[in-house]
Every structure is written in C-alpha cells, then in structure tokens.
Amino acid sequence: MFYYVIDILGTIAFAISGVLVAMEKKLDLFGVFIIAFVTAVGGGTLRDILIGDTPVIWMRSSDYVITIAGSVIFAILFVNQLKYLRKTLFLFDTIGIGLFTMVGIEKGISADLIPIMCIFLGTITASFGGVIRDILCNEIPVIFRREIYATACIFGGICYFLLIQLPWDGTIPYISAILIIIISRLLAVRFKITLPNIYRNEK
C-alpha cells in the first residue's frame, strides 16, 4: 500500500507538471490531457517494457488514468491559483522525479536486478516522462541540459542502497532517498549548481 501511494502521488505530480507545460504552449483540452498522460506514465511505461512487465501498469489498472484525468481537471480549474507558473512547474517536476525514482528502484529490486541497474531503472522512470513531454512541446528536454536532474536521481538511488545497509525500518531509507533527490535538485537550482560545461568557448 505504501509503494502504491508513492506511485499515485508521483503520477499526480507529473500529470500536473504536464498540464502546466501544455497550458503554457496554449494546447487544446485534448492536447493538455495527452501531455499530462505521457508525462505521468511515459517513464513507467518504458521501465515496464525494459523489464518485461507487460501489459504495462497503467493498462492493468484504471487508477492511473482516473488519477491523471482528475489531476488535469484540478490543474485547469485552479491554474489561476497556481501563481508563478514556472516555479510551480519546477516544484511539481522535482517532487515527481523524487517519487518516481524510488518507484523505479523498487521495481528493479522486485525484478532481482543488481543495484546499479535498479538505479538506472529508477532514473528512467523519473526522467523519461519529462523527456517525452518536452519533445512533444518542442523543448530541449531538461535531462539533456546542464541542470542537475537525472544526476539527482542517481545520487538519491546510491544513497538509498547505502541507507538500507543500516538497521533501520524499510520505509526510512525509502523516504530519505526521496527527500535527498528533491532537496538535491532544489539546492542545485537555488545555488545555480550545474554539470560541467564541455563547450570551452561558452560561459
């Protein structure tokens, strides 16, 4: 039940981030729903295909489609209350990657994958919905820019596998890793920490 709740919360966060991007691009209602949908389930769909867990999760349970539809309606109705649109988008996107990284890692553990592959799976789950969203909205995906994004997912995943070595209750490392990912990205943006620039002639 705990992991299911985390999965649903991540779906809500990413669906709302998709709505905000789509509304910035002034898409119609169908376009808004499609962008919200691919943002919320794109990474999880790729994850499930990679580990052979088919049909993919949103096809096995209507909860995800209902959750996305509800999130779309909520975001549209209250978009005027979601002030500072870009900051709101950033916040929901950051929460989404924290939650979905751990959902992906848990899936990898269930599939008996080694830790490094679990971390990769978690990063794919967290990042690729946003990649599809940005491509469809004609933006360069955040994961391909210098921002700390996928790096935060990887760092959080490493911390999780270190924390589970300690004699703690299982939920403590899980929640701690989610917070580490979210806080890492928030701090990176706050203090303008980016990956090294490989283009020497550009600042």
| pLDDT surpasses 90 at 195 | no
Please state which of the ranges 22-36, 54-68, 84-98, 159-173 shows the lowest mean pLDDT: 84-98
Tell me if 125 sits within 8 A of 135, measured CB to CB. Answer: no
36-45, 60-69, 73-82, 114-123: the lowest-pLDDT one: 73-82
Q: What confidence tier does 25 reach under pLDDT thresholds 50, 70, 90?
A: very high
What digits encode the pLDDT tens for the residues 86-135? 677 788 889 999 999 999 999 999 999 999 999 999 999 999 999 999 99
The answer to the question of residue 145 being in a domain is no
> Based on the structure, what is the number of domains in the chain?
1
Q: What is the pLDDT of residues 129-173, one digit of tens each?
A: 999 999 999 998 888 887 889 999 999 999 999 999 998 887 899
**pLDDT > 70 in the chain, percent:** 95
pLDDT of residue 83: 58
State residue 169's pLDDT score: 81
pLDDT of residue 45: 96
Expressed as residue numbers, the domain containing 56 is 2-138
Domain annotation covers residue 12: yes
Residue-level pLDDT at 142:
81
What sections of the chain are H helices per DSSP? Answer: 2-24, 29-50, 57-60, 63-77, 85-110, 115-136, 150-163, 171-190
User: Is 92 part of a structural domain of the chain?
Assistant: yes
Beta bridge pairs of residue 147 = 194
Region of 138 on the Ramachandran plot (φ > 0 left; ψ -120 to 50 alpha; else beta): left
- Look at residue 59 and tell me if it is in a domain: yes
Q: What is the mean pLDDT of the chain?
A: 90
